[in-house]
A and B are shown apart, each in its own frame.
Chain A
Amino acid sequence: MSREITDKVDGLIRQIGTAADKVIPILQAIQNEFNYLPEEALRYVCEKTDITQSSIHGIATFYSQFRLKPVGKHIIKVCVGTACHVKGAGLVYDAFRRTLNLTDGDNTDEEMLFTLEKVACLGCCTLAPVVQIDDVTFGHVGIEQTPDILLEFLNKKTTGDFAKFSTPKLNVESQGEIRIGLGSCCVASGSEAVKNELEKTLAQSNINVTVKHVGCVGICNQVPILEIHKPGEQPSFYTKIKPQEVRDVIKQHFKPRGSLDQIKTGVFNFFDSLVTENLPRSFNRYDLDQTHTPVFEFLDGQMSIATEFRGELKPSDIAEYKIKEGFEALRKCLQEYSPNEIIAIIKQSGLRGRGGAGFPSATKWQLVHEAKSEIKYVICNGDEGDPGAFMDRMLLESYPYRILEGLIIAAFAVGATEGIFYIRAEYPLAVKRINEALAICRHEGLLGQNILGSSFSFNVTVFEGAGAFVCGEETALIASMEGKRGLPTMRPPYPAEKGLWGKPTLINNVETLSLVSWIIRHGAEAFQKIGTENSKGTKVFALAGKVNRGGLIEVPMGITIRTIVEQIGGGIPNGKKFKAIQIGGPSGGCIPASLADIPIDYSSFKESGGMMGSGGLIVLDETDCMVDIAKYFLSFTQNQSCGRCTFCRIGTTRMLELLTKISDGKGTIEDLTLLEELGEKTKLGSMCGLGKSAPNPVLSTIRYFRDEYLAHIDGSCPTGKCKNLIKYSITDDCIGCTMCAQRCPSEAIEAKPYELHWVDNEKCIKCDICKQICPTHAVITT
């Protein structure tokens, strides 16, 4: 055994511990160290700890995060989240495979330079399709651009052009404040480069402005956004700003200090503007009181409870949180209310779990409260895995104190002694922010012994999930925390009676907890007034897909789908027709445009075959194929099934096979009938929520779009999305430029300068490059 490995593993074990349940953190640490899990290291762990070989092997192959093979120097992550999928992410992935010359079953190129991976959601749905190479994000990736992207990445990597994160200087004597969002999605769309440029400009011009890094601003469709706040002035918003435009913006609002600097900057800028003046500007400026602006319309109709003070709070700044009534609710609970009174308030508010199923929160709290045990746990479920949603991540990144406050209140109400944040390891920023918040709260006496001078003591730790969608299921989440494969177990017993380590455990979703402090501060009535008969308060959605303004939105329950799509989202781009929304991700369903007037409500969604789900809301237009959408979601759940029970493991696989047969044009009416039948059986017979809801996307699309299924059975895909049912051809509009022939990866088009080109469909691999690059749109699919 190599000395290097044993030494490093010894060190990691010393830090983490040797108990059997430490297996996941140990594996995560080993992978951090070696970039994969060397078998040697795993064996050594078993020698040195209580972890068995069978446990370590089972776990290393269960969670998506772990790799047993070495990877390339750089990792290419192709986002295949829902929004990216509908914008052609699958073709982009295929294009990278071709560019890297990857053979079947291989994900790393021969030179071990790049490893290609699919990821569920990078959370920049408005830049779709999105690709991330290491920490550099590329948006709106065209299929034909893949070689250029790799080259650009390698070139810039060597010249160091991709700026790294740096800490800003805070200035007390400020002339004003510039806010810039640094949520994961903002960073992905280039806000970091804007921030760097901003700091550079400010430093060079000696302007004293506070640059404040706020959490997610929600208006993902307009990011990067600069918000300029000056005393006595209306704030201004600059949307979709680029680094090279920052200097102009600053100049408009702020004068450098000292005349010499002013002159210097003026001259500097004068020459600068000679060069840049005539460049087209991509950004827009809006002021807050202006209506009919994208920002105003986007925010109008929304309501901030979970996202209260959106775009104003610096995530880790506890002082600011406190100024804005932070921890007021906790103080009130500890000093004025008994646990029973708190539960009564939650009950009266009508709060239901925001994780998907909508179970009444107070009932859960009551059960755990009543359970008799010395030790009780509360867990914040942040294992968000829906491929088109990133609400929880945004909340964790932007409002760590708010969620923590909710968690502490819940713990007090149910009598818990220990709390755990279960956060996906894929959300490093969220993990970091929560850890920062925990450390600060411990320091401030908000965690630990006798919180705020009360008799209540409570501690919180973070557990990083290793990537398994099924771990969103309570019992599977607990299994993974106990160092096991994330397999759901049968309920009863419910976690409220027998949860983590057999103790009563309360598990609430991130968003649920983020609403708690507001309810306590404003009273149950205020919350209860918002929404519908049986769905109270607000719901956070990740709005994406074929919509003009996508982003993170928080809306009151009862708002209609139409209002969300048309008003907040600004309608469908490119004059296309609104076809449907997909709600609830892989557990939810599609609701057709004809039902767009139904309100956002747990029961109305259920009736229409959808599901509130965790909050993914994807808008589909007339060019989206519903069979393809159903197949997309079912592929996801089929892949994420834990494999334990027959209906989910085999049922979803057989459903996917039937669906593939249909989308390939090889299906029959009998196949469609069998698909429906099997869908119902899988719902009925599966043990946990994953299997029980996996058929929803299929069944709901069959319900509302049966015609499209029948068209596929007859051999055509009406929207031209299903690869095996389309043919490429070139119309008379061809000018013979040969671009298509030059870029065709399969030699299906022969270059004939100035002549009409022709596609050999025998050779064509349907990569869509020709269609995308043809300057005269002469390439069509039929």
Chain B
Amino acid sequence: MVQLTIDNIHIQAEEGTTVMEAARSVGIEIPSMCYLKGHGNHPSCMVCLVKNMKSGQITTSCALPVADGMEVSTTEQEVLEARKDALELLMSDHVGDCEAPCSIGCPANMNIPLMNRLIAAKKFDESLKVVKETIALPHILGYICPAPCEKACRRTQVDQAVSICLLKRFVAVESNWFAIPTIKNSKKVAIIGSGPSGLAAAYYLLKYGYPCVLFDKNEKAGGTLRYSIPDEELPKEVIDSEVEIIRQMGAEFRFNVTITKEAFESDIRNRFDAIIIATGDVMLENQLMDLFKTTKTGIEIEDGTMATSEPGIFACGSVLRTQKMAVRAVAQGKAAAESAHLFLQNKPLIKPSRKFNSRFDKLLRDEFPEYLKESVLNSRFTPNDGYLAGFSTDEAVKEAMRCMHCDCRKIDNCKLRQYSDQYKVDRKKYLIGERKFMTKHFNHEMLVYEPEKCIKCGLCIDITLLEKELVGLTFVGRGFDVRMDASLGATLFEALSHTAKKCVEACPTGALAMKGA
């Protein structure tokens, strides 16, 4: 047995153990991408760096055998910075999107490509479920959203954007799926205002099983949606049907009620465990404003959590500042609901922050065919029966197929993304020269290979070697231009006759991914 210390913790390890394994044995997690047990001594990613306190050297830990008397630090500033630099260098050579540009451009961060793919596969319920993860009112927004997603859509470069907004409306019509509350909660929530943000907040609170009462000064729900948008743009039946869903989920509506300051203080605050203020435009007279800290534009909230200065009271929508996009109000409604949910469970509030995203500039003209490999050549469909009527099923399916699958298949299990997020990587730091040309390879029935996402760890190559693939994979070339490929011009199908799944699982990035995802 060998005695060493890692971060001042005494460790006994068997001879031949690596420092990384020794650290893991006492719960010290060292990031690593290129390491897989039983796969040799060849560090490549360099994110598992640690400091040998005796020699002062920074070294990889995945291949460093433990030695008697060793003192290792995994938390020195120098170590953390070096790891971050390794990640930043890797990011500078990693061409691809994590989330698709449309999702990133969506104020509600909706998983648009997945919605599209499910529509294309005619799985409409599943598709609507994806939509409603983030957008509680897809039918309404399907008429009035200015669709920033479509401006970000990479397909605009090829011909025209995918008709995302209409697809969302289509699926909201085609399917009548909504979340059914599974548990019943005794704590009650009051929602003042039933405009887009109030309705959205209600949807997610109901989903969590909280009884919700929505107060509105008008005789019907919808707020500005109903009273400021002309019928030709947003038919009233659309609002009615989406409000009806909220009602079916268990919401109680109190119309023609204006909550005064007194009523709020003496009644609402006593009767409810949490309150969402979604009274809409602050320019209108609003007594409740006096109860909270305010800004020039409205109620002041903590960024992200939507918490007001009063505990248990959250605000969203135009009461904060006039919202030009209903989709943003809807997103805020969800955020307020999430915070109320945490508050009611006595949990600390979490500022939802967007996860790290790898992005790149525009597609090059010659990259269009690479991206179109996952798509169809048709140009954008317009509904045959006019914009108000929306897509027919056939049209929607065909339009959804135009999506180019810009999002990464390993979005949730990519180590590069995970560590880049964790180490707060500046992905642009080393973007200096020209980026690599993007390619997508489909010559395997099960998987997709995107070489420009590869970090050259070589795990897949090792696997084909150990598993005795006849053709196998190899590194081609040397240095910066090295790339992984099937040997001697074979296809990936020939190279990976029985190891495809293993290689995909080992791949730390989205370079190798299963097709289906």
Contact residues, B54-92 vs A (CB, 8 A)? 58-60, 63-65, 67, 82, 85-86, 89-90, 92
CB < 8 Å: which of A640, A658, A660, A687 contacts B479? Answer: A640
Stretch at the interface among B41-49, B159-167, B334-342: B41-49
Judge whether B488 is part of the interface by a CB distance below 8 angstroms. yes
Please judge, given known A-B contacts A490-B64, A654-B92, whether A52 and B432 are in contact too, CB under 8 Å. Answer: no
Judge whether B461 is part of the interface by a CB distance below 8 angstroms. yes
Q: Map CB proximity to B onto A623-649 as digits: 1 under 8 Å, 0 otherwise.
A: 000000000000000111111111101
Judge whether B465 is part of the interface by a CB distance below 8 angstroms. yes
Q: Map CB proximity to A onto B469-513 as digits: 1 under 8 Å, 0 otherwise.
A: 111111111111110000111100000000000000000000000
Judge whether B93 is part of the interface by a CB distance below 8 angstroms. yes
24 contacts between A and B (CB under 8 A): A52-B487, A53-B472, A54-B465, A57-B474, A57-B476, A61-B478, A468-B478, A489-B41, A490-B42, A490-B63, A492-B65, A493-B65, A640-B478, A641-B479, A642-B479, A643-B482, A644-B456, A646-B44, A647-B89, A650-B430, A652-B480, A653-B480, A654-B433, A678-B430
Q: Is the CB of A649 within 8 A of B480?
A: yes
Residues from chain A with a CB closer than 8 A to the CB of B308 are none
CB < 8 Å: which of B469, B471, B480 contacts A641? Answer: B480
Contact residues, B435-494 vs A (CB, 8 A)? 455-456, 461, 464-465, 469-482, 487-490
Residues from chain B with a CB closer than 8 A to the CB of A109 are none
CB < 8 Å: which of A643, A646, A685 contacts B478? Answer: A643
Q: Is the CB of B464 within 8 A of A54?
A: yes
Q: Is the CB of A54 within 8 A of B472?
A: yes
CB < 8 Å: which of B44, B86, B473 contacts A54? Answer: B473
Judge whether A428 is part of the interface by a CB distance below 8 angstroms. no
Residues from chain A with a CB closer than 8 A to the CB of B455 are 646
**Closest residue of B by beta carbon distance from A639:** B479
Q: With A490-B43, A643-B480 given, name 18 new contacts (CB 8 A).
A: A54-B461, A54-B465, A58-B474, A58-B476, A61-B476, A489-B63, A490-B64, A492-B64, A641-B478, A644-B44, A644-B456, A646-B44, A646-B455, A650-B92, A650-B480, A678-B85, A678-B430, A685-B82
**Closest residue of B by beta carbon distance from A637:** B479
> Residues of B at under 8 Å CB distance from A?
41-47, 49, 58-60, 63-65, 67, 82, 85-86, 89-90, 92-93, 429-430, 432-433, 455-456, 461, 464-465, 469-482, 487-490
Instruction: State the CA gap A55–B471 with chains docked (Å).
Output: 10
Q: Is the CB of A645 within 8 A of B476?
A: no
Residues from chain B with a CB closer than 8 A to the CB of A56 are 487-488
Q: Is the CB of B58 within 8 A of A685?
A: yes
Q: Is the CB of A646 within 8 A of B480?
A: no
Residues from chain A with a CB closer than 8 A to the CB of B63 are 489-490
Instruction: State the CA gap A674–B431 with chains docked (Å).
Output: 12
Residues from chain A with a CB closer than 8 A to the CB of B482 are 643, 649
CB < 8 Å: which of B90, B479, B488 contacts A646? Answer: B90
CB < 8 Å: which of B41, B58, B461, B475 contacts A490? Answer: B41
Q: Is the CB of A657 within 8 A of B432?
A: yes
Q: Is the CB of A658 within 8 A of B45?
A: no
The tally of residues in A whose CB lies under 8 Å from a CB in B reads 45
Q: Is the CB of A62 within 8 A of B46?
A: no
Please judge, given known A-B contacts A493-B65, A681-B85, whether A642 and B432 are in contact too, CB under 8 Å. Answer: no
Residues from chain A with a CB closer than 8 A to the CB of B43 are 490, 644-645, 687
Please judge, given known A-B contacts A53-B487, A646-B86, whether A490 and B478 are in contact too, CB under 8 Å. Answer: no
Contact residues, A377-395 vs B (CB, 8 A)? none
For the complex of A and B, list the 6 residue pairs with the smallest distance between their C-beta atoms, beginning with the closest.
Answer: A643-B482, A54-B474, A54-B472, A657-B433, A53-B487, A58-B474
Q: Is the CB of B480 within 8 A of A39?
A: no
Q: Is the CB of B478 within 8 A of A642?
A: yes
Residues from chain A with a CB closer than 8 A to the CB of B86 are 646-647, 685
B492 to chain A, nearest CB (A): 13
**Closest residue of B by beta carbon distance from A651:** B89
Instruction: State the CA gap A416–B49 with chains docked (Å).
Output: 36
**Closest residue of A by beta carbon distance from B18:** A490
Instruction: State the CA gap A649–B480 with chains docked (Å).
Output: 5
A678 to chain B, nearest CB (A): 7
Residues from chain B with a CB closer than 8 A to the CB of A52 are 465, 472, 487
Residues from chain B with a CB closer than 8 A to the CB of A653 are 93, 433, 480
Judge whether A9 is part of the interface by a CB distance below 8 angstroms. no
Judge whether A42 is part of the interface by a CB distance below 8 angstroms. yes
Contact residues, A119-160 vs B (CB, 8 A)? none
**Closest residue of B by beta carbon distance from A53:** B487
Q: Is the CB of B475 within 8 A of A643?
A: yes
Judge whether A230 is part of the interface by a CB distance below 8 angstroms. no
Q: Is the CB of A658 within 8 A of B432?
A: yes
Residues from chain A with a CB closer than 8 A to the CB of B479 are 638-643, 649
Please judge, given known A-B contacts A489-B41, A644-B42, whether A53 and B92 are in contact too, CB under 8 Å. Answer: no
Judge whether A43 is part of the interface by a CB distance below 8 angstroms. yes
Residues from chain B with a CB closer than 8 A to the CB of A432 are none
Instruction: State the CA gap A647–B455 with chains docked (Å).
Output: 12
Residues from chain A with a CB closer than 8 A to the CB of B65 are 492-493
Instruction: State the CA gap A681–B84 with chains docked (Å).
Output: 11
B280 to chain A, nearest CB (A): 47
CB < 8 Å: which of B44, B59, B475 contacts A58? Answer: B475
Residues from chain A with a CB closer than 8 A to the CB of B474 are 53-55, 57-58
CB < 8 Å: which of B41, B64, B67, B488 contacts A53? Answer: B488
Judge whether A487 is part of the interface by a CB distance below 8 angstroms. yes
Instruction: State the CA gap A404–B206 with chains docked (Å).
Output: 86
Judge whether A661 is part of the interface by a CB distance below 8 angstroms. yes
Name, among A54, A58, A489, A651, the residue most crowded by chain B CB atoms within 10 Å (CB to CB): A54
Please judge, given known A-B contacts A645-B44, A687-B46, whether A638 and B480 are in contact too, CB under 8 Å. Answer: yes
Residues from chain B with a CB closer than 8 A to the CB of A492 are 64-65, 67
B433 to chain A, nearest CB (A): 4
Name, among A42, A53, A638, A684, the residue most crowded by chain B CB atoms within 10 Å (CB to CB): A53
A685 to chain B, nearest CB (A): 5
CB < 8 Å: which of A42, A640, A651, A687 contacts B488? Answer: A42
Instruction: State the CA gap A684–B56 with chains docked (Å).
Output: 11
Q: Map CB proximity to B onto A27-51 as digits: 1 under 8 Å, 0 otherwise.
A: 0000000000001001100000000
A323 to chain B, nearest CB (A): 47
Instruction: State the CA gap A647–B89 with chains docked (Å).
Output: 7
Q: Is the CB of A654 within 8 A of B432?
A: yes
Instruction: State the CA gap A647–B87 with chains docked (Å).
Output: 10
Residues from chain B with a CB closer than 8 A to the CB of A644 are 42-44, 456
Q: Is the CB of A487 within 8 A of B42?
A: yes
